Amino acid sequence: ITGDYCLLVRALGGVFIAGGVGAAMAPLFAGSPFRTAFAEHPPYHEHLAAIDVQVVVHPTPGLAGAAAVGRRLLAAL
């Protein structure tokens, strides 16, 4: 399903799996068939195999991103 959605929205820059469930399951992704199943879409295998998939484990990534943007904007003043 993730590979299908990635093709639908043309998420060629990468896929980020976020949230509590994704973070809790992060150790399982490394040894699972997820990556193989993600890219198993002929004739799009080459495109999907090149797309990076990351699991976000930070508890508050939105706040961390907002803080980084705020610091950058303040530094530009």
Distance CA 46, CA 27 (A): 26
Strand partners, 16: 54
Residues 50-71 have pLDDT tens digits of 999 899 999 999 999 999 999 9
The total domain count for the chain is: 1
pLDDT at 28: 82
Which residue in the block uniquely carries the two structure tokens 């399982």?
28
Q: Which residues of the chain have pLDDT under 70?
A: none
Range of the domain at 41: 2-75
